[in-house]
Amino acid sequence: MTSLRDTGITERFGGLMFELIAQGPGADNRWRVEIKTNHPMELGREAHPLKADWDSQISRRHAIITLTEEDLLVERLAAARNPVFFGGTERDSFRLKPGEHFVIGSTTFMLTNEVALPTLDVPNPVTQRSYTAEFLRSNVEYVDSDRRIKVLNRLPDLISNSGSERELYTRFVNTLMEGIVSATSVAIFRQSDHPDGSRAATEVIHWDRRRLTSGDFSPSERLISQAIKEGQVVEHIWNQTRAGGPEYTMDMDNDWAFVCPLTGTATHGWGIYVTGKNRVSAIAGSDSASSSGELDLQGDIKFCELIGSTLQNLLEAQRLERRQSSLRSFFSPVVLEAFSDHDPEDVLTPKECEVSVLFCDLRGFSKASEQMAGDLLELLSRVSNSLGIMTHSILEHGGVIGDFHGDAAMGFWGWPLDQSDRAIRAIDASMQIKKEFARINSDPDHPLKDFQMGVGIATGPAVAGKIGTSDQVKVTAFGPVVNLASRLEGMTKWFGGSILLDEETVTQVRDQPHHFTLQRLGSFLPFGLRTPSVVHRVVPVDLTDPTILEKYDDALVKFESGRWSEAGETLAGLGDEPCSQFLLQYIRSHADCKPPMGFSGVIELSSK
């Protein structure tokens, strides 16, 4: 029997390279993962690293794959709900050769022995250009900014959900291919220095191509070296007929390529290689196609430079984090001082405790994304600065930075220190955040003007500590109280961007000195939860109108007792106050403004 090692596979950095490529229905539903010999791997919606969570027809644990000396053995698990198709037929077990594929649901999986090896065997370019980052940011405008904005809006979640460096690189490459429609292949590479100062051969860290085909990838070593040496983007365009000649080993189908070097300390010698064909815009039906295609390629280069800067900054931050204390990124100085004599691993060990969780979301981001379509770097900077205001306030009040969710931040109190005043600390932090954004909005020239905040705070038991897998861990809190805080934050859009609290938080605050008023808004069943919660709003003392609060409370009592007509009359007299308007609209949304049969006083929410 012919073995895989007899198929002419090229050695790559001292070993043979076999990868499994997954391609789902969406452009970003894709990965390629290295498969090692005699190392069984699980494939499924919740598997790692062979995770295909975009396809509902793939079970959480669907198949086991094992690379042997002869082929790739694929075995469907008994728990898998749907079949595996190989060669057009359902198969529970089969063997795969390089270039062959199998299908589960809407996803195709192919075994490949493609090798990415830069080559000097490349024709001279007919056109060569260099671009500085400053030129791209100042002089190049996107002709299809709406599409690129949509791609970029997903970037924070793609970063935060990456379970490993390999997965992170995969997602960055996928983002580039989605944003640059005429690209056929994208690679992240690095060149290392020899002790004598000369550069070693280029190492391709991760790469992918748009088509699900088999064949080696041969980027231009000359182009890579030139871009790294100059420290700026370099573009090469080849004569297509000449580039397609049999005497050259580079990709035959491509007529252009450019390299964006990553010039940070942590990314010395790194860069992004993008190659493709048909320089005129490949956006079907788009008005953005130009007669020369030059503007389109410059837009692609600018997009790549932005993604490259994000990757560079992320790797710089990771490098800095590794050099700092494992605790410093999460804890305030007060907490760090309290545990200065303890082993970090002991401090981070997960444990069950009572916590107050704060979710803080940035309002106005979607609108800003549309308005700033031509200046994406500035938009990214503004969002980062907004998140900085949130995290600064959380840390200043002795909290722990738990996580980031896109343009939202999560913090919590009560771990690793048992803080009896955890609820009041969380409220004080949220009021400081609101105060800072109010100050910003009073300045018409401030770059963060028009951003607002919504805050939800819930208190209850949770597991807090270093939580995750062997591939990725984070310091965070886990439990129903976290979900409740998130739902409360989501409700703030109906109540004028308020600070909303659950009943347990209010209970812990009532007996402590505080400088704000608490307004009960009613009993709510948040979307996706099973237990109703009494929700309160924080009202600063200087903004408190006792008359409005008393009238709302009177209307709420009437509403909860089923006297909706009387409640509506009272609420109508409170003008456009957000809380009163919400309750009034809820009453009017029911037939004859009467409570439904069996009404218990709880407002059930149908969306987040």
User: How confident is the model over 153-167, as pLDDT tens digits?
Assistant: 888 877 877 777 888
Q: What is the pLDDT of residue 135?
A: 92
What is the distance of C-alpha 400 from the center of its chain? Answer: 21
Contacts of 556 (CB under 8 A, 6+ apart): 520, 521, 522, 567, 583
Rounded distance between C-alpha atoms, residue 137 and residue 388, angstroms: 24
290 and 415 housed in the same domain? no
Rounded average pLDDT over 419-424? 94
The more confidently predicted of residues 190 and 473 is 190
Q: What is the pLDDT of residue 417?
A: 86
Q: What is the pLDDT of residue 235?
A: 94
Q: Give the 3-state secondary structure of residue 506.
A: helix
Rounded distance between C-alpha atoms, residue 177 and residue 28, angstroms: 9
Q: What is the pLDDT of residue 92?
A: 96
Tell me what percent of the residues of the chain surpass a pLDDT of 90: 43
Residue 195: pLDDT band by 50, 70, 90 thresholds?
low
96 and 145 housed in the same domain? no
Give a yes or no: residue 122 inside a domain.
no
363 and 477 housed in the same domain? yes
Instruction: Specify the DSSP class assigned to residue 193.
Output: B
308 and 224 housed in the same domain? yes
Lowest mean pLDDT among 100-114, 212-226, 246-260, 573-587: 246-260
Residue 474 in this model has a pLDDT that exceeds 90:
no
Q: What is the pLDDT of residue 41?
A: 95
The more confidently predicted of residues 41 and 149 is 41
Rounded average pLDDT over 398-421? 87
Looking at 320, 343, 378, the residue that finishes a domain is 320
Residue 5 in this model has a pLDDT that exceeds 50:
no
Q: Give the 3-state secondary structure of residue 256.
A: strand
479 and 379 housed in the same domain? yes
Q: Give the 3-state secondary structure of residue 24.
A: coil
Rounded distance between C-alpha atoms, residue 200 and residue 333, angstroms: 44
Crossing angle (nearest 10°) for helices 145-153 and 376-396: 30
34 and 47 housed in the same domain? yes
Residue 250: pLDDT band by 50, 70, 90 thresholds?
low
Looking at 516, 540, 564, the residue that finishes a domain is 540
Looking at 276, 296, 320, the residue that finishes a domain is 320
Rounded distance between C-alpha atoms, residue 581 and residue 571, angstroms: 7
467 and 512 housed in the same domain? yes
- Distances in Å between the alpha carbon of 49 and those of 33, 188, 469? 7, 19, 12
174 and 258 housed in the same domain? yes
Q: What is the pLDDT of residue 361?
A: 85
589 and 450 housed in the same domain? no
Q: 289: domain CATH number?
A: 3.30.450.40
Lowest mean pLDDT among 20-29, 199-208, 250-259, 262-271: 250-259
364 and 497 housed in the same domain? yes
Residue 15: pLDDT band by 50, 70, 90 thresholds?
very low
Give a yes or no: residue 120 inside a domain.
no
Render pLDDT for 338-383 as a digit per residue (tens, 0 to 9).
Answer: 666 666 677 788 999 999 999 998 775 555 555 555 666 666 676 7
Give a yes or no: residue 224 inside a domain.
yes
Residue 443 in this model has a pLDDT that exceeds 90:
no
The more confidently predicted of residues 95 and 444 is 95
Q: What is the pLDDT of residue 32?
A: 87
Residue 248 in this model has a pLDDT that exceeds 60:
no
Rounded distance between C-alpha atoms, residue 295 and residue 280, angstroms: 9
Give a yes or no: residue 121 inside a domain.
no
What is the distance of C-alpha 437 from the center of its chain? Answer: 24
197 and 257 housed in the same domain? yes
90 and 199 housed in the same domain? no
Render pLDDT for 55-111 as a digit per residue (tens, 0 to 9).
Answer: 999 999 999 999 998 899 999 999 999 999 999 999 999 999 998 999 999 999 999
Give the residue from 519, 356, 335, 360 showing the smallest Cα distance to 433: 360
Q: What is the pLDDT of residue 327?
A: 62
Residue 440: pLDDT band by 50, 70, 90 thresholds?
confident
The answer to whether 452 touches 380, Cβ cutoff 8 Å, is no
Rounded distance between C-alpha atoms, residue 440 and residue 19, angstroms: 51
Q: What is the pLDDT of residue 255?
A: 86
Residue 242: pLDDT band by 50, 70, 90 thresholds?
very low
Q: 41: domain CATH number?
A: 2.60.200.20
Q: What is the pLDDT of residue 470?
A: 60
Q: Give the 3-state secondary structure of residue 451.
A: coil
Rounded average pLDDT over 23-27? 87
The answer to whether 65 touches 73, Cβ cutoff 8 Å, is yes
Q: What is the pLDDT of residue 284?
A: 39
What is the distance of C-alpha 384 from the center of its chain? Answer: 14
Q: What is the pLDDT of residue 293?
A: 43
Q: 477: domain CATH number?
A: 3.30.70.1230
The answer to whether 605 touches 524, Cβ cutoff 8 Å, is yes
The more confidently predicted of residues 1 and 572 is 572
Give a yes or no: residue 72 inside a domain.
yes
Q: What is the pLDDT of residue 9?
A: 34
Give a yes or no: residue 282 inside a domain.
yes
- Distances in Å between the alpha carbon of 388 and those of 323, 360, 400? 21, 12, 14
Rounded distance between C-alpha atoms, residue 120 and residue 125, angstroms: 13
The residue whose two tokens read 């909290």 is 399
The residues pairing with 104 across neighbouring beta strands, listed in sequence order, are 107
Rounded average pLDDT over 314-321? 75
Rounded distance between C-alpha atoms, residue 33 and residue 415, angstroms: 38
The answer to whether 563 touches 555, Cβ cutoff 8 Å, is no
Give the residue from 431, 493, 418 showing the smallest Cα distance to 457: 431
- The chain-wide mean pLDDT, for the chain, equals 83
Q: What is the pLDDT of residue 1?
A: 42
Give the residue from 475, 431, 474 showing the smallest Cα distance to 453: 431
Rounded distance between C-alpha atoms, residue 4 and residue 69, angstroms: 6
In 383-508, DSSP assigns E strands to 400-405, 408-413, 452-468, 473-478, 499-501
Q: What is the pLDDT of residue 511?
A: 80
Give a yes or no: residue 225 inside a domain.
yes
Give a yes or no: residue 117 inside a domain.
no
Rg (CA), the chain: 28
Residue 24 in this model has a pLDDT that exceeds 90:
yes
Rounded average pLDDT over 505-516? 87
Residue 37 in this model has a pLDDT that exceeds 60:
yes
Residue 245 in this model has a pLDDT that exceeds 70:
no
Q: Helix and strand tally (H, E) in the chain?
A: 17, 28
Q: What is the pLDDT of residue 96?
A: 93
Q: What is the pLDDT of residue 165?
A: 83
Render pLDDT for 564-592 as a digit per residue (tens, 0 to 9).
Answer: 999 999 999 988 888 999 999 999 998 88
Domain extent, residue 55, equals 4-112
How many domains, the chain? 4
The answer to whether 59 touches 81, Cβ cutoff 8 Å, is yes
